[in-house]
Amino acid sequence: MGEEVALRVRNLRVGFGMADPVVRGVSFEIAPGECLAIVGESGSGKSVTARSLLGLAGSNARVSADRLELVGHSVLGLTEPAWQARRGKDVGLVLQDALVSLDPLRPIGREIADSLRLHTGLGASARAARVLELLDAVGLPDPEMQVQKLSGQLSGGERQRALIAAAIALNPPLLIADEPTTALDVTVQAQILALLERITGAGTALLLISHDLAVVSRIAHRVAVMHDGVLVETGRTERVLGSPGHQQTRRMVAAIPADKPRGTRLSAADTPDPPSIPSTPRRPDTAIDSVPEIPPNNTVVLEAIGLSKSFRRPDGTRQLAVDTVSFALPRGSTLGIVGESGSGKTTTARLLLALLTPEHGEVRVFGQPWSTASEKTRRALRPGVGAIYQDALGSFDPRWSVAEILSDALGLGRQRRAPQTTARLTTLLDEVGLAATVLPRRPLELSGGQRQRVGIARALAGKPQILICDEPVSSLDVTVQAQVLDLLDDLQRERGLSLVFISHDLGVVAHVSDQIAVMRAGRSVELGPAARVFAEPQHPYSAQLLAAVPRLSV
């Protein structure tokens, strides 16, 4: 019996320095050919758990367990050389973004051959032949061409395949994949998941670490939900997702936006049975099956007319980043722009904000010229157009406190502690669900969700009617993402905001939008009511994107 598991963990505890343990008594096992997913929010201890299984938790980590067995051998208290003999041979590791997880200075062929060099007596030509086999096995076309390339020359999906090839070079019985698809576009994510599934199909045990339930539900046989250093729930994927027993699991299931109607609350953590409790519908026309092309009696507040913009490539030729994009945004509605990285979404956002000038076409705001107006004219209108960015941290001056950031946005400069200023700041924070206690803090001292809320508060300071949101939730955990999406929804309802919501995640876009524009290679290939695009996509590319959206497969 004991020989049949690839990995057995009993009561694993990991702590750093003198602090309380971050992993507090975790037990699980994985059989050959099985995929177990550990799912949890950032800081739940899942990555630390994964690294402890390779003896790589760090030099100041205290790791203890009742049992820790890799293919039948105890690895508790192994010396460093003994660990080195096992890593790569008995267990492989795939990390998140292969751009930084493969040495950017070495050709990928060398990186992949490393395990062979370290653990086998193969000669250089035998190693080279095996590398080509591996690249072929992970589905990289033209292996001979690829081995000489640096990771920076490959696309995100190709890099991730190369990284997986490096991890499975010696066919380790256990593969650990820590957020292997998080940095990838949905369609590429689907391909990588299929590849991992094929690897488990061949008998490799796979430990999948992820923050995203929907992603793992595609390939995991069993799911373990981690919260605060403990596995709060473990079971067959269908069971855990279908009838979640623990509150944390329910919160994470409810937070998945795909397939939830517009207006459904995602972050109803405290309700006992959260899935699909629609909040009072904001307007009758937002029901999933009856969104008209343009809601009646609504004026268009933002209009893009045939926008084009190109950039110069390093070799001097020009690349069209945005190619004749047109749409109209009625007051109080949301336009979702979805597409993969490099499709021109962010360039479109900058054109809409008039941070870039279009080469052709025009942007009009409140029916007035915007992109063609002078910056002096625009400046008077700018408070009406707010912006929220993906990297909230990077969009703040790190030395400024929240109070300074917001009072600056209110047009009061950085002056502090005038009573009426504090009152206005408190009101502003209240609107985004933050307490006044964050006022003296600096951006680095806030959590990811708090930062994004401050970013939204800053955007609201000018009392905008239009908000341009560029990937506002992409760097957040699913449950935090759910709270921010709900906040945007509330604000829209209360203030009648018009939103342009840009994301690579069709699930998120479909949940928040009235209209959806699908972008590919700078062109808007499909534009229509969200429900229609979601239910019956007209363009094959939209259909492809849609098929790749992670949703709970139960």
Partner 1 sequence: MARLQLPVLRPLRRVLARLGGAVFVLWAVASVTFFAVRLIPGDPAQAVLGGPGSQASAEALASVNAEYGFDQPVIVQYFAQLGRLATGDLGRSYSLNLNVGPLVLSQLGGTLLLAVLALALAWLLALALATWSTQSGRIASRVGSALEIVAAALPHFWLATSLIVVFSIWLGVLPPISTGGALGLVLPVLTLAIPLAGFLGQIMRESLLRALESPFVLSARARGESERGVRWIHALRHASLPAISLSGWAFGSLISGAVVVETIFARPGLGRTLLNAVTLRDVPVVIGVVMIVAVAYILMTLLTDAVSRLVDPRLRLS
Contact 500/352 with Cβ under 8 angstroms?
yes
- Shortest approach of partner 1 to residue 487 CB, angstroms? 32
C-beta of 152: minimal distance to partner 1 in Å?
Answer: 6
Nearer to partner 1, 272 or 314 (CB): 314
Question: Angle 341-346-352 (CA atoms, 0-180°, nearest 5)?
Answer: 155
Q: Give the shortest CB-171-to-partner 1 separation in angstroms.
A: 13
Whichever of 152 and 367 has its CB closer to partner 1, that residue is 152
Residues 6+ apart with CB under 8 A from 64: 12, 13, 14
User: How many CA atoms within 13 Å lie on the side-chain side of 281?
Assistant: 11
Interacting residues with partner 1 (CB under 8 A): 51, 54, 56, 80-81, 84-89, 91-93, 95-97, 100-107, 111, 114-115, 118-119, 150, 152-153, 163, 166-167, 169, 314-315
* Rounded distance between C-alpha atoms, residue 164 and residue 139, angstroms: 11
As measured in angstroms, the least distance from the Cβ of 178 to partner 1 is 9
Nearest 10 degrees: CA dihedral of 190, 192, 198, 204?
A: -130
Residue number, 114 or 228, with CB nearest to partner 1: 114
The one-letter code for the residue type at 507 is G
The nearest distance, CB 86 to partner 1, in angstroms, is 7
**104 or 440: whose CB is closer to partner 1?**
104
Whether 168 and 134 have beta carbons less than 8 Å apart is answered as yes
Using CA atoms, how far apart are residues 39 and 252, in angstroms rounded to an integer? 9
Rg (CA), the chain: 25
Q: Which residue has the tokens 């519908």?
A: 281
- Least distance in Å: CB of 45 to partner 1? 17
Q: Return the number of the residue (85 or 122) whose C-beta is nearest partner 1.
A: 85
Nearer to partner 1, 107 or 139 (CB): 107
CB of 52 to partner 1, least distance (A): 12
Least distance between partner 1 and beta carbon 527 (Å): 36
CA–CA separation, 369 and 214 (whole Å):
43
Which residues of 199-342 form beta strands (DSSP E)?
205-210, 222-227, 230-236, 300-312, 318-330, 334-338
Q: What does the alpha-carbon distance between residue 202 and residue 345 come to, in Å, rounded to a whole number?
A: 39
Cβ proximity to partner 1: between 95 and 307 the closer is 95
Q: Which two structure tokens, joined as six digits, stand for 273? A: 């049975």
| For partner 1, the closer CB: 187 or 475 | 475
CB of 99 vs partner 1, minimal distance in Å: 9
DSSP state of 75: -
Separation CA 187–CA 340 (nearest Å): 8
Instruction: Show Cβ contacts of residue 122 under 8 Å, excluding neighbours closer than 6 positions.
Output: 116, 130
Alpha-carbon gap, residue 236 to 242, rounded angstroms: 10
Q: Which is nearer to partner 1, 319 or 357 (CB)?
A: 319
Please tell me the distance from the alpha carbon of residue 162 to that of residue 109, in angstroms, as a whole number: 8
Give 501's strand partners. Answer: 336, 469
* Residue nearer to partner 1 on the CB measure, 16 or 400: 16
The least distance separating partner 1 from the CB of residue 449, rounded to whole angstroms, comes to 24
Give the 3-state DSSP-derived string for 437-505, with helices as H, strands as E and coil as C. Answer: HHCCCCHHHCCHHHHHHHHHHHHHCCCCCEEEEECCCCCCCHHHHHHHHHHHHHHHHHHCCEEEEEECC
* Minimum distance from residue 183 beta carbon to partner 1 (Å): 11
Nearer to partner 1, 1 or 105 (CB): 105
Nearest-angstrom CA–CA distance, 308 and 306: 7
